[in-house]
Amino acid sequence: MTRIDQHFDRVCRGDRRAFEAWLVDVELPLRGSLAPWARAVDVEGVMQETLLRMWLFALDRGRELEGEDASLRWAMGMARNLARNEARRFRREHLLPTDELPEPPAEPVRTPDPALRRIIRSCLERLSGSPARALQARLEDGSSLPDRTLAEALGMKVNTFRQNIVRARRQLASCLSENGAPLKEVLP
Amino acid sequence: MNERSRAALMEAVLTPYRQRDPEGRLAPPPEWWDLPPEALDELFQEGMRARLVEKAMDPQGRSGTVRAVMARLGVQGP
């Protein structure tokens, strides 16, 4: 039984903290499987909707799944179906992949290892001034608050706030590259 | 579209924050509609990196996506 399977077994019994641990393990491979749909749908929206539906699915029929990492494979199929429906709703079907894609493999868990975490944190600590404050606000509260609210709290206009995050991300990318951060090992 | 405005549009979409439309569905940020297809490919890669940075900064390895989903289920904080 894989770590994903162990988490999901507890999720099926209604354990929300186990669901959080499952999300942490499946997010990157699940997101990676949506690359072919990036032109047709809002990938972030499809991700969040898929993950919310997986919670409901787990409580209802999760125990029916069989095989190694079956919950991840099921989530990938659900995400593809959602993406297809969203593309139709947005009238962007012409941007869908033309060929029928093979089933994406359920890839092994790829999470940032401690060394990569250290490099990322070290590079973030080197940021300063407005770019650092803007990115920090996004990292801390970006999942629950809109940019306008975050910008106002920092005394910035929303466009200035975003330009500062752009600057911060560029500085961060340079620092990660200079320090040999092994991003390719964790990003599809 | 110049590079500066393109980058700002992409940043507006990179946030994990999503509003719901009147039917309760998650809605893309308005800026998403203004991005050309090739920028959406780039946005996908930037989104992977953004979530990775968020995971690295969180003690439990949660990205903004994970935190947004857990908040919808009524679970917040560590």
Question: Is the Cβ of B57 closer than 8 Å to some Cβ of chain A?
Answer: yes
Could you give the number of structural domains in chain B?
A: 1
Q: Are residues A71 and A141 in the same domain?
A: no
User: How distant is the Cα of A95 from the closest Cα of chain B, in angstroms?
Assistant: 8
> Does residue B44 form part of some domain?
yes
What's the pLDDT tens digit per position in A105-132? 556 555 667 888 889 999 999 999 999 9
Pick from A62, A95, A128: which residue ends a domain? A95
Closest Cα in chain B to A27 = B66
Choose among B46, B51, B69: nearest Cβ to A51: B69
Residue span of the structural domain in which B46 resides: 3-72
Asked if the Cβ–Cβ distance from A34 to B32 is below 8 Å, we say: no
Q: Are residues A16 and A73 in the same domain?
A: yes
Asked if the Cβ–Cβ distance from A27 to B63 is below 8 Å, we say: yes
Name which of A26, A44, A96 to mutate to probe chain B: the one with the most chain B Cβ atoms within 10 A of its Cβ.
A44
**Main-chain phi, psi angles of B19, to 5 degrees:** -90, 165
Rounded to an integer, what distance in angstroms lies between the CA atom of residue A37 and that of residue A86? Answer: 10
Q: Are residues A131 and A54 in the same domain?
A: no
What ipTM goes with this model?
0.95
* Residue B31 in this model has a pLDDT that exceeds 70: yes
> Does residue B77 form part of some domain?
no
Asked if the Cβ–Cβ distance from A44 to B13 is below 8 Å, we say: yes
Closest Cα in chain B to A51 = B69
Q: Are residues A25 and A53 in the same domain?
A: yes
Longest Cα–Cα distance of chain B, Å, equals 41
Residue A67: CA count within 13 A, CB half-sphere? 6
- Tallying the residues shown for chain A, one arrives at 188
* Residue A85 in this model has a pLDDT that exceeds 90: yes
User: How distant is the Cα of B16 from the closest Cα of chain A, in angstroms?
Assistant: 5
The CB density around residue A3, as the number of other CB atoms within 10 Å, is 13
Residue span of the structural domain in which A75 resides: 3-95
| Prediction pTM value | 0.92
Mean pLDDT of the A143-149 span: 96
> Does residue B78 form part of some domain?
no
- What percent of chain B stands above pLDDT 70? 96
How much is the pLDDT for A109? 52
**Cα B58 off chain centre by:** 16
Q: What is the CATH number of the domain that holds A62?
A: 1.10.1740.10
Tokens for A125, please give them.
């600590």
Choose among A27, A31, A112: nearest Cβ to B56: A112
Could you give the number of structural domains in chain A?
A: 2
pLDDT band at A25 (very low <50, low <70, confident <90, very high): very high
Q: What is the CATH number of the domain that holds A153?
A: 1.10.10.10
Question: Is the Cβ of B28 closer than 8 Å to some Cβ of chain A?
Answer: yes
Asked if the Cβ–Cβ distance from B8 to A166 is below 8 Å, we say: yes
DSSP A58-111: HHHHGGG--STTHHHHHHHHHHHHHHHHHHHHTT-GGGS-SSPPPPPP-PPP--
CB B27 within 8 A of CB A45: yes
